[in-house]
Structure 1
Amino acid sequence: MPGEQGGELDWLLFEQAQVLGWGQAVAALSPGRVRHLLATGRWRRWCRGVLVAHPGELTRAQQLWVAVLSVGSDAVLAGLSAAAEAGLRGFRREPIDVLVPERHSTSTARRRLEPGMPGVRVHRTRSLPPEQVQAARPPRTGTARSLVDAAGWARTDDEARSVIAAGCQQRLVLPGEIIKVVEELPRARRRALVLETARDVEGGAEALSEIDFVRLCRRYGLPRPDLQERRRDAGGRVRYLDAYWRRWGLHVEVDGAYHMEVHHWEADMRRQNEVWLAGDRLLRFTAHQIRHHPAQVADQLQHALTAAGWRRATRRP
């Protein structure tokens, strides 16, 4: 970190992880001085218009600065790249997503700068209000906007839903913040899917498998369950039920791959026994069954609910 008496260039190098645009460099030094630093190998021209004030490999922070500065002064990190800087875990880091206003001359494209630098994917937008941009270094879209964009640019609908669910589950953003951003972007890609996912999360379904389960119930005309229901076990500890129809005493567990581990399996068996001892019915499904065999799951749910007294509403002629 530069000292209190550090010059403008020192602060700029500190704030931008030793990466400068050509215009920034010549504004702080003379063009001749910049060329001398490049010629002697103390600085390096990484790509057109972008300089790095050391000859070595780039750090992650420097890669992000190169990506933004190589696109233009009005570019910001966006999508998964911005969300990762905000703390999102479990998703790809490349290519680096950069967002620019629509008036920018660069069209949506994937760009490769130099070996050792990830690809840069540039997107244009008609709407980027100042309140949706964080004054971070480098600048990036706010977390809610980043997740909405990432969902729109995702390769599949499942990936898009996973991004929204993970952002809320990891406590990076509230579902209402996602909904607010989407409502301000009437032309956002996958708009309906993102709104539906955020509203499902807002209702309690935080894991993607639980969101799939709510969608399944809606699709097959089954009543919506209560999600993340609190209950105390025999030891007095608070437990959360994945899905629970309190009126009909039906409890559903949605299992992920981690349930193959022995200690999780035994804990689940104890919890299952406690549910039965309390007088409730219990059904268990895997996330794979919910996604790929929804009709079978819905059939078993309907039988269990019917046995407990639920009746499907009949339509009036």
Structure 2
Amino acid sequence: MVGRDGDIGTRVGGMHRWRFDDPVLARARALGEAQGGALGRRQAYSLGMPRWLIVREVKQGRWRRVTSQVVAVHCGPMTDDGHRWAAVLSGGPRAVLDGAASLQASGLERFRSPSVRVSVPRGARIRRTRAYDIRQTRRWAAGDVADAPGTPRTRPAVAAVRAGLWARTDKEASLVVTMAVQQSVARVEDVARELLRVRRDKRRLLLHALVNDLLDGVRSLGELDVARELRRRGLPEPSRQHLRRDSRGRYVLDLYWPELGLVVEIDGIHHQWAENVVADALRQNALALAGDTVLRLPLLGLRLAPDEFYDQIARAIADRRPLAA
């Protein structure tokens, strides 16, 4: 039986009734399940579901309301993927995940953002919800949307830059951009290009410096910065780019105090790459077997926790000075 709205149902005792196994309901559940359990009201209407039927499913406890524009096709907890879909569906037809939420949808792991950020164009109608962070942005552009399956979202390089710009602190900004590059969610060269599009922002210079570190294009500058800071703190001057030989050949030490047997290795992003992990470990073990103390200073550490790293260097110098005497 086809109802007045063109919907398939049954007529019992002169009343139009829906069975829970009707084809339209089945299609709606299938679409919602493919979206982490989230189903937009517009999507349901396009499948032929009348408004009253959505209300009935919610009242009877089979579905539940998430926002004014989204229902869950179950009554259990929403998954992260479900929340991301619900956020986009709540934002309207041109809404896309942005920032850290977009990176997470693209595969970023071990990073937790305080909210799901969704961007819509300037002038778009927004139905406010406390559940998700839906905002108009002048940065919205159709060319920034990822051509990828899954939740509508910005391209990873665009998302990485915006996650850095919108982070709560400089530390969080550095962390999310670095993690996106380390986990191969975004290529650092692409992030660098997208960052050039940013003309004004209070965090722009910080991100430029960070991306340069990730590109490993300022390796020598990092060594000069460390040596300058050590001098400012009244610590002895190290030997830079000191050449050493071992049974495997020769290698260069970034900062070395021969009289103290102390080595500080400055690690760029390339030290995290798989092909360098073994070589770095062998080199550090060789130095330890020769009696040297080796401290590692990641360039990211200069951004996030400089005092802690410099305090460790100062302590190592103080502990080993009696040995040199």
Gaps of 5+ in 1: 1-5, 114-119, 256-265, 300-317
Q: 2:130 aligns with which of 101, 109, 112?
A: 112
> Does residue 33 of the first structure (1) align with residue 48 of the second (2)?
no
> Does residue 15 of the first structure (1) align with residue 34 of the second (2)?
yes
Query: Structure 1 residues 42, 103: closer, same or farther in 2, change over 3 A?
Result: same
Query: Structure 1 residues 104, 16: closer, same or farther in 2, change over 3 A?
Result: same
With the length of structure 2 as denominator, give the TM-score of the two structures.
Answer: 0.62
- Paired residue for 1:271? 286
Q: Which amino acid aligns with 2:143?
A: E
- Paired residue for 1:157? 170
Secondary structure of 1:57's partner?
coil
- Paired residue for 1:180? 193
With the length of structure 1 as denominator, give the TM-score of the two structures.
Answer: 0.64
User: Displacement, 1:132?
Assistant: 2.0
- Paired residue for 1:291? 306
- Paired residue for 1:192? 205
Question: RMSD of aligned C-alpha atoms?
Answer: 4.6
**Per-residue displacement from partner, 1:176-195 (whole Å, max 9, x unpaired)?**
10111112232355122212
CA distance in 1, matches of 2:50, 2:251: 64
Secondary structure of 2:83's partner?
helix
Q: 1:67 aligns with which of 68, 72, 87?
A: 87
Whether the 8 Å contact between 1:217 and 1:298 is mirrored in structure 2 is no
Whether the 8 Å contact between 2:38 and 2:85 is mirrored in structure 1 is yes
Secondary structure of 2:247's partner?
coil
Secondary structure of 1:141's partner?
coil
> Does residue 46 of the first structure (1) align with residue 59 of the second (2)?
no
Structure showing greater Rg: 2
Q: 2:180 aligns with which of 162, 167, 176?
A: 167
User: Displacement, 1:87?
Assistant: 2.4
Query: Structure 1 residues 49, 123: closer, same or farther in 2, change over 3 A?
Result: closer
Alignment length, in residue pairs? Answer: 260
Whether the 8 Å contact between 1:179 and 1:198 is mirrored in structure 2 is yes
**Per-residue displacement from partner, 1:288-317 (whole Å, max 9, x unpaired)?**
797017888999xxxxxxxxxxxxxxxxxx
CA distance in 1, matches of 2:142, 2:253: 39
Gaps of 5+ in 2: 1-24, 232-236, 257-261, 268-280, 315-325
> Does residue 90 of the first structure (1) align with residue 102 of the second (2)?
no
Q: 2:139 aligns with which of 101, 114, 127?
A: 127
Identical amino acids, percent of aligned pairs:
27
CA distance in 2, matches of 1:204, 1:240: 20
Alignment of structure 1 residues 130-149 onto 2, 5 Å: 130-134=142-146, 135-149=148-162
CA distance in 1, matches of 2:196, 2:230: 28
Secondary structure of 1:122's partner?
strand
CA distance in 1, matches of 2:266, 2:167: 25
CA distance in 2, matches of 1:76, 1:128: 9
Secondary structure of 2:264's partner?
strand
CA distance in 2, matches of 1:163, 1:44: 33
